[in-house]
Amino acid sequence: MPAYVHVNLRIIDSAKQAALAPRFQAALQEAGGRILHFGPVAQVLEGDEAPLPMAGVFEFPTLAQALAFYNSETYAPIKADRQEAQESRMFVVETLS
């Protein structure tokens, strides 16, 4: 069953963000993932807490593949750079069917 990684973020270092984007995209594809969305939050529909201004949704064939990517040696240096370039909140969900 597919799994989706959701990230809500604010870019805090645009130069670092620009440098890591192609590395992230290549690693994501290599791990079997794909970008469904990366861009501004269009509109808040519910909730008291304002989201960070950007959002991303990444699809993986399975939850195991999503978690393997997130915890991989390939992604580790990208994750470290991402954490310097962004303030973010991230979670993963799995579809039920």
CATH of the domain at 60: 3.30.70.100
What's the pTM value of the predicted model, to 2 decimals? 0.91
- The total domain count for the chain is 1
Residue 97 pLDDT: 72
Average predicted confidence (pLDDT) for the chain = 95
Using an 8 Å Cβ cutoff, are 90 and 36 in contact? no
Q: Does residue 14 have a pLDDT over 90?
A: yes
For residue 49, name the pLDDT band (cuts at 50, 70, 90): confident
Please indicate, yes or no, if residue 43 is contained in any of the structural domains: no
Instruction: Provide mean pLDDT across the span 81-97.
Output: 94
Please indicate, yes or no, if residue 13 is contained in any of the structural domains: yes
Q: Does residue 48 have a pLDDT over 90?
A: no
Q: What is the domain range of residue 57?
A: 3-38+53-94
Please indicate, yes or no, if residue 44 is contained in any of the structural domains: no
Across the beta sheet with 34-40, the strand order is 34-40, 54-60, 3-11, 86-94
Please indicate, yes or no, if residue 47 is contained in any of the structural domains: no
CA pseudo-torsion sign 31, 64, 59, 46: negative
Residue 57 pLDDT: 98
Give the 3-state secondary structure of residue 20: helix
Please indicate, yes or no, if residue 79 is contained in any of the structural domains: yes
Please indicate, yes or no, if residue 64 is contained in any of the structural domains: yes
